[in-house]
Amino acid sequence: MNSQITTPATEFVRRFSSTRRGASSARKVALGQLDAWGVPHGSERSDAAALVVAELAANAVLHGHVPGREFELRLVLGTVLRIEVTDTRAERLPSRPNPEAVGGCAESGRGLLLVAALAMAWGVEERVPGKTVWAEVGV
């Protein structure tokens, strides 16, 4: 008889195509993984995480796209949920959003404002090749 105690995985990593479809898939897969970890679909925590994943994945596709390269989604569940999206384009680092710079009629530029509002913390880490944009949300 095996007496080892197993615990559910608390880390998830997957690569997605650097396309709109890939960004959409990342959000859906993240929701499924969170549900498997006990963060149910439709809960406030799940909805916040889904928005953060969607924004970071969309930014990776829009601003971090390198032809033929994928982006990576990493979720780590601990005392907080750490969401990381890594792309291979290092020269386009995001900057802290400035609410005054995003006018009422602007068609873009609000994504990181949303991430900053939903996350306890967020940032950017350079890596070779590329960068990782991360956010931590409460669970």
Query: Using an 8 Å Cβ cutoff, are 15 and 70 in contact?
Result: yes
Count of structural domains, the chain: 1
The pTM of the full predicted model, rounded to 2 decimals, is 0.83
| Model pLDDT, residue 91 | 73
User: What is the span of the domain harbouring residue 119?
Assistant: 11-138
Degrees to nearest 5, angle at CA 85 with 83 and 90 = 140
In this structure, is residue 108 part of a structural domain? yes
**CATH code of the domain covering residue 62:** 3.30.565.10
User: pLDDT for 100-118, tens place per residue?
Assistant: 555 555 455 578 888 999 9
Burial of 68: CB neighbours in 10 Å, binned 0-12, 13-18, 19+? exposed
In this structure, is residue 69 part of a structural domain? yes
In this structure, is residue 2 part of a structural domain? no
Of 30 and 2, which is predicted with more confidence?
Answer: 30
Distance CA(54)–CA(80), nearest Å, equals 18
Within a 10 A sphere around the Cβ of 78, how many other Cβ atoms? 10
User: pLDDT for 17-52, tens place per residue?
Assistant: 999 999 999 999 999 999 999 999 999 999 999 999
In this structure, is residue 5 part of a structural domain? no
| Model pLDDT, residue 1 | 45
